[in-house]
Structure 1
């Protein structure tokens, strides 16, 4: 039964996991814990005893070493006293007194020489020297090795001569010697100094007899090689100057191997040698100088002491382990029965978790017995049974309430998830504030936008985020009204200071929240980022009046300024002038060096013209390479002078592109107002005609318009071009050029724009701007439109019949929408050549649809029923583009090239093009970008998801004979 209960307990581990948990009985846990405690006590007790024994041992050894040091010093003092006694007897030796009195070294040598050998043998003298009162050496005996003491010895002599007091120094330069330096007295007078030195070998030998320990004298001599029988220890860099006879020098070699650092001997080291524990420790002697590099060491046998400590430690460990085992056995016997009963209860408890209340009580009662003396386990048994009754009652109540609660929790969970997801994905800043205006929470989009985390802003005043200016001085008071429930909502705009010091323009909406406690939020603040919108709005407003390349007034704004100036001149009867500039050979620069060179030249001309006119004059770019200047309140002479200055300034300008140098040059037409015109149209026409007169006169000059030549020149120009156009139509001197347009996503050529050129009599290829204005004024534009459409349809059909498909994009002039024959001609041509209308896309401009929008929309819808499509050209130049894209049946919009040329280097153009693309995509239109001249621009267009690209990077306009489909065209 217990096995089954244990299995039930294993199946429910309290965490909902089905795997069996690891189990260890409480009995074993108690035994393990008590064992760890007892082991810790035994080990600690043994360790304390061991440390105490070692401390006692060290204390005894230190005391013993102090005795050793005292004994060695006593031996050295004995040597010193013997030397002093010998020094006092020297003047009384036969013949010494006379020699010392006269300071005769020869007499001293002859008198003392017989005594030197006996003194070496009996007294152990190593060296003896005699000095006079002037510290001059008179005579000396001893080994040459003592010469190393000369400098130090001379200092001793000077000191003794000066004080007439003996000194007893110890010196260990090459060998350790005890010296006596004593004054020599003869007949009561000081006649000099005697220096006697004896080695410390006697002290070393005598120490063994006194203490029973081995002693050695070590002298540090780095790098010296041993001489004769001299013993050295290389790893310590020491020489053994003396040692007791019984000392085994191999012990020192063994110690040097184990302890290579000689400084480790300071605290004493232990060496195990031939079953003996030996301690090697230096003696600290006050008589030894640190400069002598000499050290006495004592080798002591500590084997018996170590064995005593080890035996005591082992005995304590054995006694402790035996006590541990007996304690564990006793504890095991005591805990077995109670813990077995407790284990049964524990393994029965899982039945309560499975709501098996009756089985639980049955298991408890079946094993329970009537006891006369109850203990805690009996009380636990009874309490568990009572608990089962109570749980059974509560479970019935919980079951009823759980069903209700589950439904409510599901609803709350859905609401919570919805709100959480809404805050995370909402592209607005969501902030909650307390009653003091401190920020409590911030959503994920807010963190990304202002670059502060929610944790960083918690406790920060909301107003600290804002850049308050004069218009927001009352904002703190209004926010306080919302937080204090005196106002429901507040709407305002303010700049927010981001973490990276950038500023973002935010539209804020603050709403009051219902509070139940003081910790609840008092206000909800929702912010919409208007930064890009404001920037784009400002850019669009600026572009409505300015040329994006040169930053000058565009044609529309310039005409408005000219109209205002004409009105002021008429009101106050002032005169003024209009200067019309047209650059010379600008097309040549574009063709040879590319549009980048042309743009650079236009920018340079704009700067130079701006610098050459007065501050009150108005400068604008009318389009292409045309500039104009309004000169208010000036005379004809003043206007001519300004024109001359401007031309002189332009003649100094030049640019170098691709190893080519281009100079700036222009022709200037001058028209006066109100003399040559009192409205914008007439005055511009007059200045334009004057400019052409300047060009015909040789370029780079100026011409003042006169009323006499107005009609004549205009008619001459129209007749000239009318004849050229009629001749070109008759003799097929119009040429087709094709420029490829690439589909950006898959990098394939999707279609080609058909471009018209005229072959002049001298072989020059003329661009459309030379003949199209005259064609429009003479009515020949319809013939040109029909010719282009018919030939394009025929060529498309020929390619289609050869098994290939090429799409063409054809420009329609503004006059095409007033041509009643256009639609019938298209139907007839598609039928005649059996061409597919879906291969044709017609490009129109705002100007084409401007005059009669309903008629243009009707004609476009009828043409689209044939299967053709339409492109709105020059999209974005004016605000009317957004109106036409909604009113006209447009399929593709072509973004004006002025926004594309400098796209890679102009963040403003990037913002504007992105906005134009988003607008077009919002209306379901595809987009084309023209003037794509480099890979960087193409990459940005691809990121903006623009559909088509056209420009020099994609391909130059090419004649039909050089086109990819040349083999499929009729010759």
Structure 2
């Protein structure tokens, strides 16, 4: 087997494929190392060649710059010689007289003998004389070969003006160097002489100083004739002058390779007549880009190129020799070790067949003792040790397979448990494949969307959604999860059930790890948020509406009124405000109960809506007060609407327990902007007008007038101010206590302290009659102080008799701006030795609205004494949620408008449940007021509301009628 390993491999069937072509590791190493060495040789040669060429190009660039300086120097030398010649002209015999005379004929006659020698000896091609006024006096030479006349006159004018020579170079028609020199005779400027000489000498002399050839190329003109051997057709140039040794054929060869003359700028190589030449334009500052002439330098670089080529060939030969020697050496080194390794490789398949003994025998038969161990010897030993280990592991695998079979049964039971858990989970659980098609749906999902799993299997998951959202974005995000570019997606969307019902679902999509193509790709879990969204919508609606009548509440009505006042002021419109107050409404509540009062309020709301225009705005301001905004109307129009409303209300009546109640109202009318241009003043005017209507006789209307505004208000304030001061002085204030029950224990937990005032005739007055006047006159602080002192005194008296009663006291909005409040509390607690933990203070949003930081600081200070706080009217506006989080509240009192009809109103039940959950989430206890029926109390108990207050629990009673009356007696 050691002698024929391939035959052994064939005998191992299934372990190796004998039909595949085999290439030994030795040849693979040789092939790979050859490729690497070749790449190294080629790279090194290329780098060497590029470096040599780069150095050569840099050297040529430096040399080309030197050429430019040398040509510039030759041109400057010619220009200097011309100026020297021009300065000698006035000293020629007779020229000074002719120039002073400023006579062109004399100048021509005198200078004519000198023209021919200058042409022959100095190569002068043109001379012109101009006077100081720039007029041509005499000239020699052909003007059409030189610059334009206007250009030359410009030079002359500049030289005359400055009296300084200039040296222009013109290549418009041929390259000529000019010297424009002022002529001075006896210290006077008599004109200008212009001398022109061609640049042919520069071209012919360039070879002598540089060793390279230079040519002067001129742009072909339509009227210029040129010989074919001097013409460069591809560039549209003709060779005007060149070095004697330069062959024009080189330029023609360059023009064939590079048709665009600008491509010669970096310098190009041309191979011609078995030689290498570099062709490169020579840029001079004196020859502009718009000139028709070009200078081009041709350099013989044959020797340098051949030197670089020779160095490159030598590098290649050295690299190839090194490559061959390295391959031979590597072949000799690898042959024997790789042969031994090959034997081990072809023996290893025996391990796959579990032929451990045969494997060890095969290795030992070919094992040759080495003087020193190497890696292959260690591989032999390791392979043998591995065979023993594998043999042992195979025995362990057999034992563990039996154990695994038992555990598979256990996993099957766990899988059944998970399946059952998914079915009973109160969420939708859906799995999708890689194409977004539904694979599974749990039992709760089937119940919720009315589809069976088999009906949805294979359908796109996206088809479940109602067409009211951005399904394109959702589809894109799900595709990102399936494409493993995203792990999770959370969103809300509406799904359409089989019964066409729409449910709002909060989805969480997660990417699953897949082992096969059939495994689920996405797990989608959906939580039904339909009822929660409905409650949120109800809360949003209640922020602007009265829950009983569905009309705008006071806050929203005031916003509408303010907006209407702004529009009226902008567009100069007038309008009216109607203020309704139902007559004898308290009598209806007292005799027939709050349910009768609520029914009457609903009827009044419907009748008022039917009696006003579509553009009019109706709202319930609270209790039995309604108001209507009449935009763009007059006093007559407002009175007509009031009459119609009263006539409509007179037709309405309700019957409760054998009693019939009619809907009667008194209406106050105020016009805007006549009676007020802001919400407060207008409402006050309408309110005063309403009271005038009541005084005149119920069931009528009254139009406010400015004359009675101040008189009525002052009369009202003075009247109540005197009453309040008299009551404070003679202790005419009375406390009533209403019990508040702990619902779970069915025990009275504490009492709310309600303030009443005794009138002169013994009538007990409710707070809403005198508290507004107290706030306007500043007496509210005295009332707050009196309530706190008397309440603390009562609590201490009960406490000292061995009992404990907790009081809940209402704080006015002005209490938070009372600098004496905290000191009075400390003084009263200390004086009466009362326990502060027996006191709860009720505040409303209005109390904290003006200065929230100050209110928060004061409340925290009072809580440090041991007192607690209750937030009243919770839920009326969304701001309640803000205050419950910002203020140190212990208890929230849910507004009674949500409690009255709780047993019969599913909407109110959803809302109260949501309010309770919010309060409980913030760690607050809850109190429900206006609890009047046992059914309402039962619903509150099921909702786990903490406290209940209302007529069912107990009506407000005076101290003499309270359960703790015996403890208050002296």
TM-score of Structure 1 vs Structure 2, range by shorter chain: 0.5 to 0.7
Deviations 1:454-477 (A, max 9, x none): 566545553554333475478668
CA drift of 1:711 comes to: 0.9
Q: Identify the residue that residue 326 of structure 2 maps to in structure 1.
A: none
User: Structure 1 residues 862 and 470 mapped into 2: Cα distance closer, same or farther (>3 Å)?
Assistant: closer
CA contact (8 A) 1:577 1:630 kept: yes
The aligned runs of 1:354-753 (5 Å cut-off) are 396-398=395-397, 401=400, 428-435=427-434, 437-443=436-442, 445-447=444-446, 449-450=448-449, 454=453, 457-459=456-458, 461-463=460-462, 465-469=464-468, 471-472=470-471, 493-498=492-497, 502-511=501-510, 513=512, 515-753=514-752
Cα distance in 2 for residues equivalent to 1:475 and 1:815: 53
Distance 1:889 1:421, change over 3 A: farther
Shift in alpha-carbon separation, 1:784–1:469, aligned structure 2, 3 A: closer
Listed as ranges, the gaps of 5+ residues in structure 1 are 1-391
User: Do 2:462 and 2:471's aligned partners in 1 also have CA atoms closer than 8 Å?
Assistant: no
Q: 8 Å contact 1:799–1:806 — kept in the other structure? A: yes
1:476 and 1:825 mapped to 2: Cα distance? 66
In the TM superposition, residue 847 of structure 1 has moved relative to its aligned partner by 0.4
Secondary structure, counterpart of 1:527 in structure 2: strand
Q: Distance in 2 between matches of 1:780 and 1:477?
A: 67
Within 1, Cα distance between the matches of 2:750 and 2:546? Answer: 30
Q: Which moved more, 1:959-968 or 1:440-449?
A: 440-449
| 1:249 paired residue number | none
Aligned equivalents of 1:394, 1:843: Cα separation in 2: 78
Deviations 1:568-595 (A, max 9, x none): 1111111110111111222222222222
Equivalents in 2 of 1:776, 1:488: separation in Å? Answer: 61
Tell me which residue corresponds to 2:967: 968
Which residue is 2:877 aligned to?
878
Deviation per residue, 1:185-223 (Å, 9 max, x gap) = xxxxxxxxxxxxxxxxxxxxxxxxxxxxxxxxxxxxxxx
Relative distance call for 1:547 and 1:516 in structure 2 (3 A) is: same
- Contact 1:897/1:931 (8 A) holds in 2: yes
Question: Aligned partners of 1:806 and 1:863: how far apart in 2?
Answer: 19
Secondary structure, counterpart of 1:539 in structure 2: helix
Matched ranges for 1:758-837 at <5 A = 758-837=757-836
Structure 1 pair 836–402 and aligned structure 2 pair: CA distance change class (3 A): farther
8 Å Cα contact 2:449-2:496 kept in structure 1: yes
Residues 469, 493 of structure 2: 8 Å contact kept: no
TM-score, normalization by structure 2:
0.56
Q: Indicate conservation of the 8 Å contact 1:876/1:896, yes or no.
A: yes
Q: Is the 8 A contact 1:798 1:970 kept in 2?
A: no
Task: Check conservation: 1:577, 1:671, Cα contact below 8 A.
Answer: yes
Using the TM superposition, give the Cα deviation of residue 536 of structure 1 relative to its aligned residue in structure 2, in angstroms. Answer: 2.1
Question: Structure 1 residues 891, 487: CA separation in 2 closer, same or farther (over 3 Å shift)?
Answer: closer
Q: Secondary structure in 1 aligned to 2:903?
A: coil
What is the alpha-carbon distance in structure 2 between the residues aligned to residue 843 and residue 500 of structure 1? 49
Question: Could you report, residue by residue, the CA deviation over 1:861-881 in whole angstroms, capped at 9, with x for unpaired residues?
Answer: 121111111100011111111
Show CA shifts across 1:764-811 (max 9, x none): 221110000001111111111111112211222222222221111110
Task: Please tell me whether the aligned partners of residues 505 and 531 of structure 1 are also in contact (alpha carbons under 8 angstroms).
Answer: yes
Question: Is 1:927 aligned to residue 926 of structure 2?
Answer: yes
| Cα separation, 2, equivalents of 1:550 and 1:780 | 35
1:467 is paired with a residue whose SS is coil
Count of residue correspondences:
580
What's the CA shift string for 1:593-633, capped at 9, x where partnerless? Answer: 22212211111111111111011100011111111100011
Partner SS state of residue 717, structure 2: helix
Confirm or deny: 8 A CA contact 2:808 2:841 kept in the other structure: yes
- Is it true that 1:855 corresponds to 2:854 in the alignment? yes
> How has the CA–CA distance of structure 1 residues 478 and 803 changed in structure 2, closer, same or farther, with 3 Å as cutoff?
closer
Greater CA drift, 955-964 or 765-774? 955-964
Shift of 1:635: 0.8
User: How many Å apart are 1:565 and its aligned residue?
Assistant: 1.1
The residue number in structure 1 matching 2:888 is 889
Change (3 A) 1:468 1:492: farther
Q: Which residue of 2 aligns with 1:191?
A: none
Closer, same or farther: CA 484–665 of 1 in aligned 2, 3 Å:
same
> Residue 656 of structure 1: SS of its match in structure 2?
strand
Asked if 2 retains the 8 angstrom alpha-carbon contact of 1:691 and 1:703, the reply is: yes
- Give the superposition deviation at 1:403: 12
Per-residue Cα deviation, 1:706-765 (whole angstroms, up to 9, x for no partner): 111111110100000011111222222211111111101111111111111122223322
For 2:678 and 2:928, locate their aligned partners in 1 and report how far apart those are by CA, in whole Å. Answer: 37
Spell out the pairing of 1:194-273 with structure 2 (5 A cutoff).
Answer: none
Q: Alpha-carbon deviations, 1:843-899, whole Å to 9, x = none?
A: 000101111112111111121111111100011111111111111111100011111
> Distance in 2 between the 1:502 and 1:678 partners?
50
The answer to whether the 8 A contact 1:578-1:631 is kept is yes
Shift in alpha-carbon separation, 1:406–1:883, aligned structure 2, 3 A: farther
Q: CA deviation at 1:537?
A: 2.3
Q: Which moved more, 1:863-872 or 1:534-543?
A: 534-543
**Contiguous gaps of at least 5 residues in structure 2:** 1-390
C-alpha contact (below 8 Å) 1:795/1:970 kept by paired residues: no
For residues 413 and 790 of structure 1, the distance between their equivalents in structure 2, rounded to whole angstroms, comes to 74
1:950 and 1:852, CA in 2 relative to 1: closer, same or farther beyond 3 A? same
1:393-431, CA deviations, whole angstroms, 9 ceiling, x for partnerless residues?
999424775799799999999998998799678764221
> Which residues in structure 2 correspond to 1:71-470 (within 5 Å)?
396-398=395-397, 401=400, 428-435=427-434, 437-443=436-442, 445-447=444-446, 449-450=448-449, 454=453, 457-459=456-458, 461-463=460-462, 465-469=464-468
Deviation at 1:634, TM superposition (A): 0.6
Q: How far apart are the structure 1 equivalents of 2:922 and 2:416?
A: 34
| Contact 1:468/1:494 (<8 A) preserved | no
Mapped partners of 1:410, 1:836: distance in 2: 68
1:346-399 deviation digits (Å, cap 9, x = unpaired): xxxxxxxxxxxxxxxxxxxxxxxxxxxxxxxxxxxxxxxxxxxxxx99994247
| 2:915 is aligned with 1:938 | no
The match for 1:865 is 864
Secondary structure of the residue aligned to 1:904 is helix
- C-alpha displacement of 1:657: 2.1
Q: Report if the CA contact (8 A) 2:666-2:690 is conserved.
A: yes
1:639 Cα deviation after fit: 0.2
DSSP-derived class of the 1:945 partner: coil
- CA 1:482–1:772 in structure 2 vs 1: closer, same or farther (change >3 Å)? same
Kept in 2: contact 1:508–1:528 (CA 8 A): yes
Q: Is the 8 A contact 1:427 1:445 kept in 2?
A: yes
2:831, 2:477 → 1: CA distance? 76
Could you tell me how far apart the structure 2 residues matched to 1:581 and 1:685 are? 13
Q: What does residue range 14-93 of structure 1 map to in structure 2 within 5 Å?
A: none
